[in-house]
Structure 1
Amino acid sequence: MADPDILARPDDDTVRAALRSASRAPSVHNTQPWQWTLDDVALHLDYDDVWQLSTADPRGRQMIISCGAALHHARTALADRGWRTEVTRMPDPEHPEHLATLRFRPWSDPPAGVHTRAAAMTRRWTDRLPMLPPPGPADLLHRLRMLASPHEVELNELDSSAGPRLAAASARVAILHDSDLDYQAELHWWVGHDGDTGVPVGALASDAQAAGVPLGRRFPAAPHSARRTEQPDQAAIIVLSTDGDRPGQWLRTGEALSAVLLECAAAGAASCTLTHLTELPAVRTMIAGLLRRGGTPQVLVRVGTAPDSRHEPTARRDLADILTIDRGHTVRTGRTPR
């Protein structure tokens, strides 16, 4: 008799196609620190700390947030292909790198929003240039809050009075980073080069453009461009926060971030994730004071409208580098999905 706990699963080609889409998930400096394993029963997500930013992210918080974004992208892509996933997060305390196990059930009628957000994966990109205000801001922000809430993540929009304080904090972070030789070496390793990881020159702003976004991380400057040089940034600033600061909450932050960014792309809005403002404890404390109900700020996001949408998709690692198919084995089990 078949084991009732062993569910049907999609064929290998379906999983490969879903993970190709999921590989478009955002990650800090486009490091793509995720590793997938597919066995006879389930799909497993691990982080690979080879890709961790040891100076900017010594705790691995941003690495796990990045993996959470990949997890949500994967679940969305699988749902778009007719498969519901049940997730066990952090299934093995002795192996903290094992972030999630996904088991499958056929799903013939996922909500329409699933298909819309799955289609947005190829359109979403990080826009580091100045933006106009977001389209239909009140309605969009309401949808974003509703999408973040199931992940136990609170979404707040900061009012305009927060802008100068955040700009001052960003400038202070930049000064500290400028004098940190290890940080600078790490940044230049990952940024400004062509390859299947990292941030290429084409995704960066020139000095003039960066000056219009005082909240942005200070990256090496791109060549001068006339695109939006004179435009002040009018993006809305949202904060994703949790009620604690543990790895499981970092993972869920990444899932919420993915849902938020995909919904923005589906709505025709531009977005840019800001992680440098939560790298220093003092700045996180300041941002927490701006939130209505406190909490621990994890990620800030600029949301607006791009006057132009010209961009080249950033490269991604080959699927063979991030997926192992282990046929004939059940690699891990984990606890009951929650």
Structure 2
Amino acid sequence: MPEADVVTAAVQLACRAPSVHNSQPWRWVADSGGLNLFVDPSRWARATDYSGREALISCGALLDHFRVAMQAAGWTINVDRFPNPNNLNHVAAISFTPSGFVTDGHRARAAAIERRRTDRLPFAAPTDWEQFEPMVRSTFSDPDAHLDVVPDDGRHKLADASRLSESLRQYDSSYHAELDWWTAPSEATEGIPYSSLASATERQHVDVARAFPVGDDSQRRPSITADRSTILVLSTDDNTGADAVRCGEVLSTVLLECTMAGMATCTLTNITESPAGREVIATLIGRTSYPQLLIRVGLTPQAEPEPAMTPRRPLREVFEPAT
């Protein structure tokens, strides 16, 4: 076993992982044999994510962030996913093996965890994408998870699907009340900061997005009047809980690789929350797999200040150390 402070530091860093509405639906429990990860059903964004699929994707991203943090500390994690068939909230049981040499690449990937942000403003097109895409694909080897790029000529169909997903929820009071809850300006440890929301004007410049409550009436990035991001699709062969967790792990890998390359990202699940939206996405990528989420990838102005870090729950609320 690694020292307790090493595990604690890695857990704290891993909790920078993205989650649906920054709900952080997870709980860590350490024992003499290792570390256990649980999904926390009390923190599901149920109006958005009634099945808990997105909560499990969030836990998968957390699990991979933890792997990255432990690699940078000189440890390999061994993961038994869903080890208890009588408790499906038990996402993973983790043991450890010393990994020996730590490379600069391991350290750089761990450092990217704190630099990664979810950016809801418009992006400029990424440069050298043709060279970058094969490298991203090479960073994960899950045969049941697929990474595809939405073709440029299909972008308008995806934008139509995005607008359709919002229109289907137009009169869903519980959904809109939930969005208001997770974007409350007073929340200090969870949810989406008010400063991270797009204004009404800025929202008009992004054609594929979830319609969160609008932020301040501002016009950031005036030089980018339309989103030119590359849009990625992560899909899996099936739609089990294990598929959602694996998708989250791949999501973590892609986001961190993009961050290290200086690219901005925004993860989207609104279109994949409806059968109609998933059908449009599957047609665009030419697969019969289950579309789990989208990722917008692009560039932001170099002189732009770095956004503030989003809040996280105190470690004592999400981590139970071994006694």
| Among 39, 50, 63, the residue aligned to 1:47 | 39
The aligned counterpart of 2:9 is 17
- Secondary structure (helix, strand or coil) at the match of 1:37 reads strand
Structure 1 residue 209 corresponds to structure 2 residue 205: no
CA distance in 2, matches of 1:287, 1:150: 21
The aligned counterpart of 1:221 is 214
| Among 114, 118, 123, the residue aligned to 2:106 | 114
Structure 1 residue 142 corresponds to structure 2 residue 123: no
Determine if contact 1:245/1:296 at 8 Å carries over to the other structure.
yes
| Among 288, 297, 306, the residue aligned to 1:303 | 297
1:1-338 aligned within 5 A: 9-110=1-102, 112-150=104-142, 152-193=144-185, 194-229=187-222, 231-307=225-301, 308-327=304-323
- Secondary structure (helix, strand or coil) at the match of 2:142 reads helix
- Secondary structure (helix, strand or coil) at the match of 1:289 reads helix
- Secondary structure (helix, strand or coil) at the match of 1:205 reads coil
- 1:84-110 residue CA offsets vs partner (Å, 9 max, x unmatched): 011100111110000001100111124
1:273 is displaced (CA, Å) by 0.2
1:151 is displaced (CA, Å) by 6.5
TM-score between both structures, scaled by the size of structure 2: 0.96
- 1:268-316 residue CA offsets vs partner (Å, 9 max, x unmatched): 0000001101000111011111123331110100000111343110010
Of 239-248 and 218-227, deviating more is: 218-227
CA distance in 2, matches of 1:151, 1:271: 24
- Secondary structure (helix, strand or coil) at the match of 1:238 reads strand
C-alpha change, 1:151 and 1:70, in structure 2 (3 Å) is farther
- Tell me which amino acid in the other structure corresponds to 1:127: D
- Secondary structure (helix, strand or coil) at the match of 2:27 reads strand
The aligned counterpart of 1:336 is none
The aligned counterpart of 1:4 is none
- Tell me which amino acid in the other structure corresponds to 1:322: V
1:112 is displaced (CA, Å) by 4.3
- Tell me which amino acid in the other structure corresponds to 1:243: D
Can you give the 5+ residue segments of structure 1 that lack an aligned partner in the other structure? Answer: 1-8, 328-338
Determine if contact 2:272/2:292 at 8 Å carries over to the other structure.
yes
- Matched-pair identity in %: 40
Of 196-205 and 104-113, deviating more is: 104-113
CA-based RMSD of the aligned residues comes to: 1.3
Can you give the 5+ residue segments of structure 2 that lack an aligned partner in the other structure? Answer: none
- 1:157-185 residue CA offsets vs partner (Å, 9 max, x unmatched): 11111211111111111112221111111
